[in-house]
Structure 1
Amino acid sequence: MVTMDARDERSLDHLMDSLKAQLDMNGPQMHIVGSTGDAKALIPVLHAMGAIIEGLYTQIGRLDARLHAIDGEEV
């Protein structure tokens, strides 16, 4: 069985915590934008969340590639 090392786990935890913090911090702003219809105010929020999601995607892809490499060695 392949497991993540402590560094990978900390990295994913940090990215997830960052995304949750962005959602918590910007939730009220999103609600206001939803009620006023001023979508331009969401641009900085979405930009920050997009960068965090991109980081998660990259980290998960790296872990997936490592898993496939390890599976190939075990065969």
Structure 2
Amino acid sequence: MKLNVDLENHSYPIYIERSAIHKVHEYIPISRKIAIITDTGVPEKWVNIVKEQCPDSFICTILQGEPSKCFDQYKNLL
């Protein structure tokens, strides 16, 4: 299922389907450099499934939890 989020200045799709994690390469342009941003609560095997589909990618892992949702973490990611 594909849902479209239509905002005033930007729209984007949300895909809901079984095993979508194995189809990342169908939804994003994997020919570009990809930053995979995850947290310590996401199983490493899931992160690796995404990474394997994105040849020019790197992983940024932040601590799980509300304290990581801050401008300092945002600056670190940039």
Give the number of the structure with larger relative contact order, counting CA–CA contacts within 8 Å between residues 6 or more apart.
1
TM-score (norm 1): 0.22
Q: Whose helix fraction is larger, Structure 1's or Structure 2's?
A: 1
Q: If the length of structure 2 is used for normalisation, what is the TM-score? A: 0.22
Which one has a larger percent strand, Structure 1 or Structure 2? 2
